[in-house]
Amino acid sequence: MTSRERFDELLARPVSMRSIGLLRLLLGVITAVHLWPIVLDGWRGDTFHDRFHEPYLAWLASLPAGLYVGALTAALAGAVLTAIGLWSRPATWIAWAGVALHLAVSTTHLHNNRAYLVTVLGLVALAPNDRSFAMDAVRRRRRGGDVDRTAPAWPLWLLRFTCATVYLASGISKLLDPDWFGGTVTWARVTAHRADLDASPLPSAVVDLVLERAVHTVAAKVVVATEIVIGVGLWWRPARRFVIPVAIAFHVMIELSADVQLFSYLAVAVLVVWADPDLALPERRATPRAGAGAISAAA
């Protein structure tokens, strides 16, 4: 078998879609939480039309406000259906289209967490995401139908690639920036908030430590190393049981120390695509797990 054939076989190999099903559920909730305030503003008549905006596609700027709000409302409904797994695949596409539309109408709407969301949502929409943790699967079983929980592995590989890319891109950009790697960026940010720190309930010794320049010289390197270790370590199966908890702890720290919108929740949710195939997740089984052995080989 040539390397090309081995690569094709790896992508086409049937694997369990359970992790993608669980990710779909979590993404539905995250997307609904993301869209809700935007839709609410739209219903109140507050859309991008009346404020500075810079569309990626010029014709989108002429989209009537009613049509725009209607599309986002449909996307919100799609996100709810995505979460419960009812008409999962079209619902995920509709949710994706709404998130993409909101980003496309203005550069000012784009943030890293939203870029990550629209990418992951699109990949999950491409996958057969209705086979686990979905009302669709339950309905199919009740009708006496068979639910094949497996599908070709390529969407899972693309999700894994995207997940690892986020950590590596972030880590490498900091590694290449002397100000970041040397601790200047974090130290400057912390000292800019010195008054807030002084007013906080933190003990003065902790505040002094946080404001100490030398601490940031070291801490910046720890941050860079953590991101790169996560991005690389996720690919090595034995390391995942250590790397995934580190990644979760990393996101908890970020969530506690910075305003990153939904990034922490999204990033932790996407980590499920690295789950081991024998992870014991509660799920009713109406049919034998035909793909259980296959995913072990692929994961």
Partner 1 sequence: MVGFVAAQLTFVVRAYWAPHREFGYQMFPEASTWQADIVRVTHDGARVPITERWSGYEWNELVGGRGLASPWRRHHADAGLDGQLAFLDAALTWVAANTPNDRETRYLEATVTAWHNLDPPSVLTMRTPDRSVP
- Which one, 83 or 120, has the nearer CB to partner 1? 120
Measuring CA to CA, which residue among 209, 215, 249, 214 is closest to residue 229?
249
- Which one, 35 or 137, has the nearer CB to partner 1? 35
CA distance 115 to 282: 31
Confirm or reject binding of residue 294 to partner 1 (CB under 8 A).
no
- Which one, 173 or 200, has the nearer CB to partner 1? 173
Confirm or reject binding of residue 217 to partner 1 (CB under 8 A).
no
Question: 10 Å Cβ neighbour count for 199?
Answer: 10
Please enumerate in sequence order all residues whose Cβ is within 8 A of that of 95, keeping only pairs 6 or more positions apart, or say none.
27, 28, 31, 35, 75, 76, 78, 79, 82, 121, 125
C-alpha 139: how far from chain center: 28
Among 74, 87, 101, 157, binds partner 1 (CB under 8 A): 157
Choices 24-32, 35-43, 75-83, 183-191 (CB under 8 A): range interacting with partner 1: 183-191
Among 33, 40, 188, 218, binds partner 1 (CB under 8 A): 188
Choices 74-82, 135-143, 164-172, 289-297 (CB under 8 A): range interacting with partner 1: 164-172
Strand locations in 137-282, DSSP E? 150-152
Among 64, 165, 209, 287, binds partner 1 (CB under 8 A): 165
Interaction pattern, residues 233-272, with partner 1; x per rule: CB under 8 A:
-------------------------x-x------------
Residue indicated by tokens 């910046």: 220
Confirm or reject binding of residue 181 to partner 1 (CB under 8 A).
no
- Which one, 68 or 116, has the nearer CB to partner 1? 116
Side-chain half-sphere of 285: how many Cα atoms within 13 Å?
11
Confirm or reject binding of residue 44 to partner 1 (CB under 8 A).
no
Exposure letters 99-132 (e unless 16+ CB within 10 A, then b): bbbbbbbbeebeeebbebbbbbbbbbbbbbbbbb
Question: 10 Å Cβ neighbour count for 44?
Answer: 9
Footprint of partner 1 (CB under 8 A):
11, 51-54, 107-112, 115-116, 119, 154, 157-158, 161-162, 165-166, 169-170, 173, 177, 179-180, 184-189, 192, 258, 260
